[in-house]
Amino acid sequence: MTPPAVPVGAAPGADRSTDPYLPENGNGGYRVLHYDLELDYRVVSNRLAGRAVVTARAVQPLSRFSLDLARLQVKDVRVDGRPAKFDHRAGKLRIKPERPIGYGATFKTEIRYGGKPGPVSGRWGDIGWDELSDGVLVASQPNGSASWFPCNDRPDDKATFLVTMTTATPYTVLVTGDLVSKSRGAGTTTWVYEREEPTAPYLMSVQIGRYELVDLATGGVPQRAAITPRVRRVFQHDFGRHGEIMDVMQRLFGPYPFREYMVVVADDDLDDPIEAQGMAVFGRNHLDGRRTHERLVAHELAHQWFGNSLTVADWRHIWLNEGFATYAEWLWSGASGGPSTNAHATGWHAWLAAHPANVVVADPGVDRMFDPLVYKRGALTLHALRASVGEQAFFALLRTWVAEHRHRTVTTTQFREHAARYATGSLDGLFTAWLDRPALPPLPRIL
Domain end call among 245, 276, 304: 304
Residues 193 and 51 occupy one common structural domain: yes
Q: What confidence score (pLDDT) does residue 313 get?
A: 97
Measured CA to CA, the distance from residue 384 to residue 345 in angstroms comes to 10
Residue 65 lies in a domain: yes
- Please check whether residue 172 is in contact with residue 209, taking contact to mean a CB–CB distance below 8 angstroms: yes
Residues 103 and 242 occupy one common structural domain: no
Residues 169 and 258 occupy one common structural domain: no
Residues 238 and 150 occupy one common structural domain: no
Residue 24 lies in a domain: no
How many domains does the chain contain in total?
Answer: 3
Which segments of the chain have a pLDDT < 50?
1-13
Residue 28 lies in a domain: no
Q: Residue 286's domain is classified under what CATH number?
A: 3.30.2010.30
Q: What confidence score (pLDDT) does residue 444 get?
A: 83
Say if strands 92-96 and 85-89 run parallel, antiparallel, or are unpaired: antiparallel
- CA torsion angle 319 325 328 332 (round to 10): -150
* Numbered residues of the known binding site for Zn(2+): 299, 303, 322
Residue 27 lies in a domain: no
Q: Residue 182's domain is classified under what CATH number?
A: 2.60.40.1730
Residues 275 and 411 occupy one common structural domain: no
**Which candidate in 197, 275, 300, 329 is catalytic?**
300
Residues 381 and 421 occupy one common structural domain: yes
Residues 68 and 199 occupy one common structural domain: yes
Residues 287 and 325 occupy one common structural domain: no
- Please check whether residue 171 is in contact with residue 220, taking contact to mean a CB–CB distance below 8 angstroms: no
Residues 180 and 325 occupy one common structural domain: no
Q: Residue 340's domain is classified under what CATH number?
A: 1.10.390.10
Residues 100 and 199 occupy one common structural domain: yes
- Please check whether residue 237 is in contact with residue 214, taking contact to mean a CB–CB distance below 8 angstroms: no
Residues 248 and 284 occupy one common structural domain: yes
Residues 176 and 67 occupy one common structural domain: yes
Residue 324 lies in a domain: yes
User: Which residues form the domain of 369?
Assistant: 315-436
Domain end call among 304, 326, 345: 304
Residue 22 lies in a domain: no
Residue 8 lies in a domain: no
Q: Let me know if 375 is a catalytic residue.
A: yes
Measured CA to CA, the distance from residue 310 to residue 321 in angstroms comes to 8
Q: Let me know if 211 is a catalytic residue.
A: no
Measured CA to CA, the distance from residue 132 to residue 268 in angstroms comes to 7
Residue 240 lies in a domain: yes
Domain end call among 153, 174, 209: 209
